[in-house]
A = this chain, B = another copy of it.
Amino acid sequence: MSHLLTDRTKVRRIPDRGKYQEHELFEILDSSFLCHIAFCEANDLPVLIPTAYGHDKGFLYIHGATTSRMIKRLEEGAPLCFCVTIVDALVLARSAFHHSLNYRSVIVFGTAEKVEGEEKNRGLKIISDQILKGRWEEARPPNKKELKATTVLKIQVIEGSAKVRTGPPKDDAEDYSLDTWAGILPLRQQPGKPVDDPTLLKPIPLPDSVLNFLKNG
């Protein structure tokens, strides 16, 4: 067991789905770009916000407008819960009760820290790379004014866990003789056909970032 396991991160429901090794979490954190972040306001009121993130060797980066409520609260050091969830399949059992999803999720508990200077630039590139590798180099870099309007926060992955379900359905012994089809229906987020910005001033071929994504997913 690595240090990511604490009393709070232990998976209690179906404990054999719990994973606590850094590399197990990191692999999932590298496989999405959308997270949800929760924090509490006064009187135990939870607030939950979806946002893009990037992961680099145990550090999560998020960004937002300097004026955003979430950014301000997290910058103050509010405890946060960070979650990434990837659904891989519908799991269709013979009984309604044993229906499930194949999924990979990671929860991280912690706090965020504002980063500045070189690390701020690097954090923005990490977020951009995670959404679309290579796009950062194609786009005009942020200028001083844009950087000033943006806060970049870093969350170190110290306390967390992953929960993973894979494989076929598991039914009760007496249900295997039913005539009901059972199996899994894989789901995957896939790209469609890129759409040119209608304001392109002349035909411009698709950039490498998009071509590579279409080729390799």
Chain B residues whose CB sits within 8 angstroms of the CB of A68 once the complex forms: 12-13
A181 touches which of B65, B182, B207 (Cβ 8 Å): B207
A-B pairs, top 5 by smallest CB distance, nearest first, are: A38-B38, A186-B192, A38-B46, A50-B85, A182-B197
Indicate if A80 sits at the interface (CB-CB under 8 A): yes
Counting chain B CB atoms within 10 Å of each CB, which of A34, A143, A177, A194 scores highest? A194
Given contacts A34-B87, A204-B179, contact A193 B199 (CB under 8 A): no
A79 touches which of B46, B97, B101, B181 (Cβ 8 Å): B46
Could you show 22 A-B contacts with beta carbons less than 8 Å apart?
A13-B65, A36-B50, A36-B83, A38-B81, A40-B44, A45-B109, A47-B81, A50-B103, A92-B132, A95-B139, A168-B198, A169-B197, A181-B206, A181-B210, A183-B194, A183-B195, A184-B194, A185-B195, A186-B192, A187-B189, A187-B190, A189-B190
Which A99-143 residues sit within 8 Å CB-CB of chain B? 99, 101, 103, 105, 107, 109, 124, 128, 131-132, 135-136, 138-143
Size bracket of the A interface: 35 or more
Chain B residues whose CB sits within 8 angstroms of the CB of A64 once the complex forms: 13
Tell me, rounded to whole Å, the shortest Cβ–Cβ distance linking A210 to chain B: 6
A107 touches which of B48, B185, B209 (Cβ 8 Å): B48
Task: Known pairs A36-B48, A184-B195; list 4 more (Cβ under 8 Å).
Answer: A13-B69, A36-B36, A96-B124, A176-B201
Tell me, rounded to whole Å, the shortest Cβ–Cβ distance linking A171 to chain B: 8
Counting chain B CB atoms within 10 Å of each CB, which of A12, A47, A187 scores highest? A47
Docked Cα-Cα span, A150 to B97, in Å, equals 9
Indicate if A205 sits at the interface (CB-CB under 8 A): yes
Contact B187 A192 (CB under 8 A): yes
Contact A101 B46 (CB under 8 A): no
Tell me, rounded to whole Å, the shortest Cβ–Cβ distance linking A130 to chain B: 11
